[in-house]
Amino acid sequence: MIDSYLRQSALDHLGLAGRTSEEPEKAAVRLGEKLLPAAVNLRGDVADPAFVAALREALGVEPPSAPNTVATNGEVALLWLGPDEWLALQHGAAPEAEAQMAAKLRDALGDLHAATTEVGEQYVCIHLAGPKAREVIEKGCPLDLHPRAFGGVGHCAQSHLSKATILLHQVSPGEDGEPAFDLYTRRSFADYLWRWLEDAAGEYGVAIVAP
């Protein structure tokens, strides 16, 4: 476990907190950063009941075996990344949450053939919502985000957005025409991707919010 220190968002220099919109409901796209997520990458065999039980014990969630799906208990979400790989995510937690989550997982997994890696430091989470959120992402991403193809809430996918690697998670259904996505990208792509998104959303009207 590392000592806690002052973590800084990769978008800190953009001063987003000072640019939040007072009338976000008027914009067709709302953009915001979900600050400093706790994230642990998990590898293991989902066919092994002991692995599933260990995750249930440590996180309160079982790893989804269906591709591109998410399991959540409201606090921790497990995103499917590959046939033997998941990402455990927690938002709005204390700075120590990630190390604690990883320690709990290591205790629960014991001698099982599994791996846990703390990766929160590399991820930046950009939240996109609004009636035109889908159109903005589809400008630079080959995925079909229509619920018929993507699956709606509880689905995730790894792809690229304007050449930057992304992990996309739909967090709100958009039945009211307001779908919402959490978009994870690597730290070094964050500045580029934020500017790209703000530019791409410009034609629909974009508001910066604190999600």
Partner 1 sequence: MLQITCPHCGARAESEFHNGGEAHIERPKDPAALTDAEWAEFVFLRDNPKGLLLERWNHTQGCRRWFNVARDTVTYEILAVYPMGSQPPALDPRRYV
Q: Which residues bind partner 1 (CB under 8 A)?
A: 67-68, 81-83, 85, 142-143, 157-160, 165
Closest CB 6 distance from partner 1, rounded Å? 32
Q: Which residues contact 150 (CB under 8 A, 6 or more apart)?
A: 143, 144, 157, 170
Give the nearer residue to partner 1 in terms of CB position, either 29 or 157.
157
**Residue 2 Cβ, how far from partner 1 at the closest point, in Å?**
26
Give a three-class secondary structure readout of 163-176.
Answer: CEEEEEEEEECCCC
Q: Where are the alpha helices (DSSP H) in 34-113?
A: 49-59, 97-109
Collapsing DSSP to helix, strand or coil, 81 comes out as: strand
| Residue placing its CB nearer to partner 1 in the complex, 69 or 172 | 69
Of 37, 33, 23, 26, the residue nearest 195 (C-alpha): 33
The least distance separating partner 1 from the CB of residue 186, rounded to whole angstroms, comes to 12
Specify the residue, 68 or 170, whose C-beta has the smaller distance to partner 1: 68
Minimal distance, residue 158 CB to partner 1, in Å = 5
Reading the block at residue 160, the tokens are 């690229």
Name which of 35 and 79 has its Cβ closer to partner 1.
Answer: 79
